[in-house]
Amino acid sequence: MTQRVSVVENILNANDRLAEENRVRIESAGVFSINIMASPGAGKTSLIEQTLPRLKDKLRVATIDGDIATSIDADRAAAAGAQAAIQINTGGDCHLDAVMLHGALNQLDLTQFDLLIVENVGNLVCPASFKLGTHKSVLIASIPEGDDKPYKYPGMYRGVDALVINKIDLLPYVNFRMDYFERGVQVLNPEVTTFPLSCRTGEGLDAWVDWIIQNAKKA
């Protein structure tokens, strides 16, 4: 067990060092960057699809999409208007790490962009342990996932800067106690900025898009 733990620690330390390199590289290019994390199917790609048209003529956007397999997500991001869309296939790994982001950044001329959106692998556990070097971490919760997720996946809720609560159009059809959910979030992460919205109906998207634009201006 000790050997295993020490190997894992070495991997995480090496990851943090490379994440710091990524951060410096992204920042020197004046790019604002976010790392979007969520369970499978919570709406990461849908959020990107709804966000990009609203940023048209305002920000030049590159996306980097992580998945076990397929290029479905990068294809959707490109179709939605990303100026560049790179797919990372992890081949089995359940999260992106700083090495994978580093490799993807090598394929981009960052000076051509204002915003970099990284879409992580769908997973509510492991991505929280691997810094990438992005400015802000964004978690998407999804109404049909249920209201107990902050309690059961505290590591993910604790470390993020913004929380998107997607699929609010499904609230009438499922049992989701918003006050119970929000109490869980409050304990873990009282400072988090929250955006309830629906990628299907468009409700609530303006506040989210404004948050991105304001942050990109500062970068």
Q: Which is nearer to its own copies, 15 or 33 (CB)?
A: 15
- Rounded Cα distance between 177 and 158, Å, is 20
Site of interaction with its own copies (CB under 8 A): 3-4, 7, 11, 39-41, 67-70, 72-73, 92, 94, 121-126, 142, 144-146, 148-149, 151-155, 167, 169-170, 173-175, 200
Which phi and psi angles does 25 have, rounded to 5°?
-65, -45
User: Can you tell me the distance from the alpha carbon of 45 to that of 176, in angstroms, rounded to the nearest whole number?
Assistant: 23
Q: Minimum distance between the CB of residue 113 and its own copies, rounded to whole angstroms? A: 26
Least separation in angstroms between residue 67's CB and its own copies is 5
Q: Return the number of the residue (7 or 207) whose C-beta is nearest its own copies.
A: 7
Q: Smallest distance from the beta carbon of 4 to its own copies, in angstroms?
A: 7
Q: Whose Cβ is closer to its own copies: residue 130's or residue 211's?
A: 130
Local structure of 17: helix, strand or coil: helix
Minimum CB distance to its own copies, residue 146 (Å): 5
Q: Which residues contact 132 (CB under 8 A, 6 or more apart)?
A: 19, 22, 35, 96, 97, 98, 101, 118
Work out whether strand 193-196 and strand 84-89 pair parallel, antiparallel, or are unpaired.
unpaired
| Residue (17 or 152) nearer to its own copies, CB | 152
Q: Which is nearer to its own copies, 58 or 183 (CB)?
A: 183
Give the closest residue to 145 by CA, choosing from 217, 31, 38.
38
Query: Residue 54: CB partners within 8 Å, gap ≥ 6?
Result: 205, 206, 209
- Please report how close the Cβ of residue 111 comes to its own copies at its closest, in angstroms: 31
* Least distance from its own copies to the Cβ atom of residue 196, Å: 16
Q: Is 138 helix (H, G, I), strand (E, B) or coil?
A: strand
**Closer CB to its own copies, residue 22 or residue 142?**
142
